[in-house]
Amino acid sequence: MIKKKILFGLVGSTLCLFIFIVILNLKYDNGVIIENEKSRTTVKNTNALTMMYETEANSGEYQVLDSDTWIQDGYIFNNELSRCENGGTLSWNDETNKVIMQTNSSDKCYVYFDVYSVKYFNEKILEDNPTTLTRTDFSAPLTNENTKTIYKVSGNWTEDINGDGEGEVVYYFAGNALNNWVKFGKNENDEDLYWRIIRINEDNSVRLLYSGTSPSTIEGYISLNYYFMSSSDVKFVGYMFGESGTLDNNRLNTNNSNIKSVVDEWYGNTFMVKNDLEGNLFNNYVSKTAIYCNDRVRTTEMQSYEWYYYGAYNRLYDNKHPSYKCGNDFSGNLFDNYSYLDKFSVSTTYGGNGDLIYPVALITADEIAYAGGVYNIDAKAWYYYNSLGESIIGDNYWWTMSPSYGSYAGYARVFSMNNATLSDRNASSSAIRPVISLKSCVYWLSGDGSNSNPYEVYLDDSCSSVEN
């Protein structure tokens, strides 16, 4: 069932004694009522408030409510247009479904309500970001502050999931994007979880990077831990791995890496047991078809003796071109025909390996590059910041899931972020920031993506039971 923000009423606070405070004489008990904070008396004043209702969905045209009957369904509070003439403020309370009016003087306020229009979350993101740009040069950091802007890439650089030979369009946030915040899910302590949107995937699911329990946190990670407990063998660069000796053996994916075990345990204790207000398991929101790339293709370029350099290293070392297509070389083609073994997923519907138990993994080094990062250069893009403009992970390194290089002689390195610098690490403890993808059928509920008003989503019964 689709959930709408039903309009119930209006309450007030921080009002001086001389203010006349009830706004409309309405027939419903849940009408518009503001009380004097000191006397708690109620005084009717139909001149204090004007109710403005959108004429039809997305029309941008409004008319004054010419009735003493409270319109209770099908509308949503418009925070941007609602205003008061003499400094008062209006806001929406999600818990009580009431408008809050705060003022210290006699005031005249205008409350705007939009027709509630059902939108998929991916559609809402594109609607809120009408400026669409493309990039061809990834040699310098992209760190400019921006809103209402999104970037796109397709063709040889993205996965072909419909089988037409052409990669699907991917939309992604880059630079210091200020409007890609999402509030979704609960942790073991029932704290809200915050995320940043990485991109809209090829399957139209929306990929999110974990960003803590508050937009202002400096601990935007679930724990500090090891990617692998030993770097004695190049097989350990795998998110899952098999046996030693050859790449084919490494790709058998019969063992969990240490970091996958940590991420899976966290997901099982949160999304598999926590529900939304309607009783929907948070796991039901998460796409099972989304692919998470642990690109273990070994390239011949830059290979010497026992050293093996993986795909992301060759794409990003000298800034050739990042890729969302797993196993991509630096010109848009596949290095080998077995990259599907590195496409970690729960479902095999869109070419994933189906080896994940839970639909969660980590960000890739290529996704960092698309977001604005550059190998071995400080790049403070959106993934770095909390709402206060500080580092969201303190002074810590944090892991990606992209292998860098290594050897069977006793060396393995995986790309990591040295705070805001893309680099690589071996068996060291670093911050873990899980990545999930919300299903393509998830609906937008509220918010504009800012840190003060993050996006929130909901799903109906039909979406709950499908893969994506």
Range of the domain at 329: 121-464
Interval 393-417 mean pLDDT: 91
Report the pLDDT value the prediction gives residue 12, as an integer from 0 to 100. Answer: 39
Q: Considering only CA atoms, which of 413, 373, 5, 434 is closest in space to residue 184?
A: 434
Report the pLDDT value the prediction gives residue 23, as an integer from 0 to 100. Answer: 33
Question: Which has the minimum average pLDDT: 10-19, 87-96, 121-130, 182-191?
Answer: 10-19
Report the pLDDT value the prediction gives residue 259, as an integer from 0 to 100. Answer: 97
127 and 186 share a domain?
yes
Choose between 242 and 299: higher pLDDT. Answer: 242
Question: Which has the minimum average pLDDT: 171-180, 262-271, 328-337?
Answer: 328-337
Give pLDDT tens digits for 226-245: 999 888 888 999 999 999 88
106 and 243 share a domain?
no
Choose between 113 and 300: higher pLDDT. Answer: 113
Q: How many other CB atoms are there within 10 angstroms of residue 44's CB atom?
A: 12
Contact 218, 392 (CB under 8 A): yes
Q: Considering only CA atoms, which of 54, 71, 205 is closest in space to residue 125?
A: 205
Instruction: State how far the Cα of 325 lies from the Cα of 295, in Å rounded to an integer.
Output: 9
What's the mean per-residue pLDDT of the chain?
85
Last residue of a domain, one of 99, 117, 135: 117
214 and 184 share a domain?
yes
Instruction: State how far the Cα of 55 lies from the Cα of 111, in Å rounded to an integer.
Output: 14
**Position 389 pLDDT exceeds 50:** yes
Last residue of a domain, one of 59, 92, 117: 117
Reported confidence tier of residue 58, pLDDT bands at 50, 70, 90: confident
219 and 258 share a domain?
yes
Choose between 374 and 52: higher pLDDT. Answer: 374
70 and 127 share a domain?
no
Residue 98: exposure state from Cβ atoms within 10 A (0-12, 13-18, ≥19): buried
149 and 82 share a domain?
no
Number of domains into which the chain is organized: 2
105 and 135 share a domain?
no
pTM for the predicted model, two decimal places: 0.81
Q: Considering only CA atoms, which of 325, 315, 260, 308 is closest in space to residue 405?
A: 308
Report the pLDDT value the prediction gives residue 111, as an integer from 0 to 100. Answer: 87
Give pLDDT tens digits for 29-46: 333 333 333 333 333 334
78 and 216 share a domain?
no
Instruction: State how far the Cα of 364 lies from the Cα of 198, in Å rounded to an integer.
Output: 11
Choose between 8 and 93: higher pLDDT. Answer: 93
